[in-house]
Amino acid sequence: MALLQPFLEVTKEACDTAFDVNLRAVVQVSQIVARGLIARGAPGSIVNVSSQASQRALANHSVYCATKGALDMLTKVMAMELGPHKIRVNTVNPTVVMTPMGKANWSDPMKAKTMLDRIPLGRFAEEQDVVDAILFLLSDRSSMTTGSAVPVDGGFLAT
């Protein structure tokens, strides 16, 4: 969840909301899932949804970048602590995704151009692009992948 505000205008409420949604909720839900898997002695996989903004500073995204950066680190710690229980934890880090919110926020061609010019593939992600990456990370095909942040960004982070 992104509440876009310049750093000097970030309110306590916006900060609390972003941390509640982007980090605290992930901790609480992941604890429930992990405890259930451990109690059953079952292996498993958890995939968190982060953002390219966890690794690149974006103007007016200070709290969003901070919460997504924290989520990437949480993912690594979870992978380390849950690995002995055969639970893998990874994150996907998409660029702008063309959800209804993404379409509304990035429909202005001039605004979109500034981001698209930084994406080597020249397009924003579709929802299915992110779903496919998540399904791979949940599958046995990624059985040796844990603690990883997988970009779904058309090469944005490579530039």
Catalytically annotated residues: 64, 68
- Provide the token pair at 51: 């953002």
Give whole-number Cα distances, 138 to 71, 86, 146, in Å: 18, 13, 11
Query: Cα separation of 23 and 28, whole Å?
Result: 9
